[in-house]
Amino acid sequence: MLLLGGTREARDLARIMSGEQGFEIVSSLAGRVRAPLLPEGAVRVGGFGGAEGLRAWIADNEVRAVVDATHPFATAISANAVAAARASDVPLVCLRRPSWPQQPGDRWVRATDLAAAAQVTATLGERVFLTIGRQGVDAFAKQDRQWFLIRAIDPPAGPVPPRHEILLARGPFALAAESRLIADYGIDVLVTKDSGGDQTEAKLVAARAAGIPVVVIDRPPVPEGVLVVETVAQVMDWLHQVRTDRGCG
């Protein structure tokens, strides 16, 4: 099994599958983060070289099933996984944790992409808490009127807004600490991807409690025709079924 990872769910899957007889798994990480949290079991790091490189890797390593447990915003690898799995006639499942549901009291403004988020953020506040990770910060780089608190695991590589502070941190984040950040930095607007998951959800609760608006960037669509599940347990059920159907392991 090839497990495309870089998420908490992928690490959970690697741990569970490592403990099950009859599964041989390799987790794959892009290698973006300088000190990644490594999953249990075998791990490979780095790009495959597009869909064709991934197809060749699947063939060379006799992969019998692919689990795409990458982040909902990692669109290129998910598209490559679909193309490569189809070309290899290998079954694929895509694990996408559910989106965060909007709650009473939330002041959410939806944005279709990073550029739209930057535009609408400019109208909503002066002190922005930017929690979109390291990639995509350049979409906000021309905004010189606002001040930004940019939180990411590693520093952004590209252009950043002129007035900013970078906060290097890795989730999970606790509610009390998120509320303190909002208060201490005088944050009046939060920007987030619709990542979902409980590791980074506290900022939304803190924003609700503080009464500040949140710009929520919509997820890109999952490639068409792909089986999508929402939980680690559903992936395990699927893998057991694939093993039965195809005589894997």
Binding site for ligand NAP (CB under 6 A): 4-7, 28-30, 32, 47-50, 53-54, 70-71, 73-77, 80, 133, 135, 193
Least CB distance from residue 101 to ligand NAP, whole Å? 20
Instruction: Kindly give, in sequence order, each residue whose CB lies less than 8 Å from that of residue 244, ignoring residues fewer than 6 positions away.
Output: none
Helices (H), 147-214: 175-184, 202-210
Nearest residue (CB) to ligand NAP, 23 versus 48 = 48
Structure tokens at 77: 């690898």
Q: Is the peptide bond before 72 cis (omega within 30 degrees of 0)?
A: no
DSSP, res 138: G
Q: Which is nearer to ligand NAP, 29 or 147 (CB)?
A: 29
CA distance 178 to 8: 20
How far apart are alpha carbons 117 and 143 in whole angstroms?
A: 12
Q: Choose between 84 and 187: whose C-beta lies nearer to ligand NAP.
A: 84
Nearest partner of 28 among 70, 60, 64, 65, judged by Cα: 70
Q: How far is the CB of 144 from ligand NAP (least distance, A)?
A: 25
| Smallest distance from ligand NAP to CB 244, Å | 27
Supply the DSSP symbol for 167. E
Judged by CB, which is closer to ligand NAP: 36, or 249? 36
Q: How far is the CB of 103 from ligand NAP (least distance, A)?
A: 23
Cβ closest to ligand NAP, residue 48 vs residue 147 = 48
Q: How far is the CB of 165 from ligand NAP (least distance, A)?
A: 21
